[in-house]
Chain A
Amino acid sequence: MGSPSGQKALSRPSSVRFPRSVAARLSLAFIGLLVLCAAGADVIAPCPVEQRTADRLLDSPSAEHLLGTDAQGRDVLSLIVHASRVAVIVGVGTTLLSMLVGIPVGLLAGFSGGILDAVLMGTSEVVFAFPGILLALLLVFITQNPTVWTLVVALGATGWAGWARLTRGQVLQERGKDYILLARTAGAGTPRILAIHILPNITSVLLVQVSFSVGTAILAESSLSFIGLGPQDAPSWGAMLSEGAALFLCSPYMATFSGLAVFLSVLAFNIVGDRLRDHAARDAG
C-alpha cells in the first residue's frame, strides 16, 4: 500500500478469517447446501414443483415422498427445495441492496457532518420508527401481487437504515485519527479519503454484519410469507408453514419440515456471524 494510510491499514488488517469451530463448519456446509438447492432446484428436487398426485393428499413420509405430500398432493421435499430459492434471493438480495444504499449514506453522513448528516440520519430515524417487519409489511401490502423482488425491495428499503447507522458510527471513530489528517494534508479530497482510507479500515466491522443480515432477512421473508404477504409466484417456506399449520392435526409434516428449513437457515447464518464477530474482536483486540 503506497498510500498515507498504509501504516494504519497494516496495523489493523481488515481481513475476516474463516471460523474453524465444528458448529461454524456445519453452518458453512449448510449454507453451501442451501445455495446449491437454490441454484439447482430444478435438478435437485425429486419432483417438478407443480406435479400433483391426486390419490396422495397429505401423505406421511414414504420412500416415494421422503417428507410426505401437501393437501394438493405435491411433494413436500420438492417444495422445500424450490422455496430455498426465495429464501436465498431475499436473504442475499436484501443484504446487498441495504449495503449498497446504507454504506454510502453512512459514509457521507459521518464524514460531512452538519446539515447533510442531520437530514440523512433523520431519515434513517424515521425508518427506525417502525419496529421489525412493519414498514416492509406496509410496502408489500401496497404493491399487489408481490414477487420475490418486491420483498427484496421492501426489506432493503427498511434494512439500509441499520447499515447507515453502523457505518456512520465507524466513520466518526476513524475520521479524527491522524492518518486522515495526513491524507488531507497530502491533498486527498473527500471521495478519495472515504473510498481509499476510511472504507478499507471499517470493512471488517461491516463484513461481520453480512451474515446476520442474511439470516434476519430470511426470517423476515418467512414472517411476511406466513401472514400471506410472500411472493405469489413461487413457493416459500413461510407460506408452506402457514398452510401446514392449519392442517397440522391431519398432517404435521409440511409445517414441521418447512419450519425446520427456516430455523436451520437462520441458525446457520447467525452462527457464522457470531464466530466472525468473535474473530474480528480478537483481531482488533
Chain B
Amino acid sequence: MARPVLQPVAVVVAGRLARTALVLLGAATLVFLVVRLVPGDPAVSILGDQASPEQLAALRERMGLDLPLGEQYGRFLSEIADGSLGTPLGSASPGVTVRSRILDVLPFTIELALTAVLVASLIALPLGILAALRRRSLADSLSLAATLVGLAMPTFWLGPLLIYLLCVHWPLLPDPASGVTGWTSLVLPACILGLALSARLTRMVRSSVLDVLREPYVAAAYARGLPHLRVIVRHVLRNALVPVVTVLGLQFAALLSGALVTEKVFARPGIGTLLIDAVARRDYALVQGTTLFIGVVYVLVNLCVDVAYLFVDPRIARGSRREGA
C-alpha cells in the first residue's frame, strides 16, 4: 500500500501537467486511429458509390489518405500543433480552418452552457440543501423523485414538447423556427439543459451537506450554543459547497457535448450543431477536429479543477483523497 508521502504542491502540479499532456496525446492518437483504422473508406462515404475511381483517388490525395500511416499521423499532429485542426471539406477560401469554424460558433455554446449551469444551480442548491436538512421528509422524497425523473428525461423529448407548449400553443417565448435571436431565445434551451444537469447536482449537494452535518465541528458549533441558521450557513454550507463547485466546473465542460442534442432541437448555432451538421455532410476533418476540441477542453478544465482543489485542500496532494491509500 502506498504510504502517504509529503510532497510540495508544485511537484504534484508538475506531475498532473505531465499526465495531462500524455492524456491529450493519447486522445489525439485515439481520434486519429479511429478515423483511419475503423473499416470504411472516407472518400466513398463522401462522394457516394457512383463516384469514378479518378474522383475517389483525387479526393484521397486531397485528404492525405494516400500517404503512409506514419506520415498521416505526423501531418495530423502538426495540424494540432499549429492550432488549425485541419481544413474542413469544400472550404474554398484558405483562411477557413476547423479552428476558425469552431471559434465562430463557440460563443453561442458557452453562452448556453453558462446559462444552463446558472439554471441548474438555482434549482439544485435550494433543493439539495432542503433535502439534506429535512432528511426522510416529504421534501426529501419529492426531491429524490424529481431527480430520478430529471435524470431519465431525454432533452430531445422535453425540447419539442415545451417548444410546442410555450412557443406555439401559448406563445410566451419566440418560436426557434422563426429565427429570433436575443436572450428570449436562450431561455428555453438553457432551462432544458439546466434541468437535466440539476438532477445530478441536487443529489451531489444533498450528499455533500449530509457528509458535513456528520462532522464533529458541526456538533461543536451547536455545543457552543450558536444559532441553527448560523451553523448551517457559516459551517455547513461553506464546507459542503466546495466539492459542489468543482463538480459544476466539470459539468460545464461536459455540457459542451451535452449541448449537442439541445442545440439541434432548438436549431441554435454552436459546437453541437457544427458537429451534427459535419456528421450529416460527412466532413471528416470537421468531425475529427470538433471531437478532439471538446475532448481537449474537457481534459484541461479537469486539470484546472484538480489543481484548484490542491490549493483549497492541500491534504489531497498527499494522496489522502485517493482510493483509501
Contact = CB atoms under 8 A, between A and B. Distances in A.
A143 B279 contact: no
Given A130-B27, A130-B295, A144 B45 contact: yes
Contact of A249 (B164, B257, B265): B164
Contact of B279 (A135, A137, A271): A137
Nearest to A227: B276
Contacts of A63: none
Interface stretch (A4-12, A90-98, A195-203, A255-263): A255-263
B152 A223 contact: no
A177 to B, nearest CB: 11
Interface in A128-149: 129-135, 137-139, 141-144
Contact of B323 (A172, A222, A263): A172
A135 B176 CA distance: 29
Contacts of B151: 266, 270
Contacts of B325: 172
Contact of A141 (B157, B158, B258, B279): B279
Q: A interface, by DSSP: helix, strand, loop or mixed?
A: helix
B20 to A, nearest CB: 9
Interface stretch (B34-42, B178-186, B219-227, B230-238): B34-42
B323 A274 contact: no
B23 A255 contact: no
B279 A215 contact: no
A259 B253 CA distance: 26
A127 B291 CA distance: 12
B153 interface: yes
Nearest to B278: A141
A138 B323 contact: no
Interface residues of B, number: 55
Contact of A134 (B148, B257, B280, B299): B257
A262 B159 CA distance: 14
B298 A241 contact: no
B245 interface: no
B291 A223 contact: no
Contacts of A227: 260-261, 264, 276, 279
B298 A130 contact: yes
A137 to B, nearest CB: 7
A173 B159 CA distance: 43
Given A132-B258, A223-B156, A274-B148, A138 B45 contact: no
Contacts of A256: 161
B160 A255 contact: yes
B154 interface: yes
A283 interface: no
B34 A142 contact: yes
B1 interface: yes
Nearest to A222: B154
B152 A263 contact: yes
A256 B325 CA distance: 50
Interface in B67-110: none
Most buried by B among A130, A169, A172, A248: A130
A90 to B, nearest CB: 15
Given A144-B45, A255-B160, A263-B152, A122 B26 contact: yes
A267 B160 contact: no
B294 A263 contact: no
Contact of B40 (A130, A143, A238, A263): A143
Contacts of A252: 164
Contacts of B323: 168-169, 172-173
A99 B38 CA distance: 22
A249 B256 CA distance: 29
Contacts of A134: 257, 291, 294-295
B30 to A, nearest CB: 6
A271 to B, nearest CB: 6
B324 interface: yes
Contacts of B168: 249
B241 interface: no
Interface in A234-285: 238, 241-242, 244-245, 248-249, 252, 255-256, 259-260, 262-264, 266-267, 270-271, 274
Interface of A: 122-123, 125-127, 129-135, 137-139, 141-144, 168-169, 172-173, 176, 215, 219, 222-223, 226-229, 238, 241-242, 244-245, 248-249, 252, 255-256, 259-260, 262-264, 266-267, 270-271, 274
Interface of B: 1, 19, 22-24, 26-27, 30-31, 34-35, 38-40, 44-45, 148-149, 151-154, 156-161, 163-164, 168, 253-254, 256-258, 260-261, 264-265, 275-276, 279-280, 287-288, 291, 294-296, 298-299, 323-325
Given A143-B38, A223-B154, 19 more contacts: A126-B26, A129-B299, A130-B257, A133-B257, A135-B34, A138-B31, A138-B35, A141-B279, A143-B40, A169-B323, A172-B325, A173-B324, A227-B279, A248-B160, A255-B160, A259-B156, A263-B157, A266-B152, A274-B148
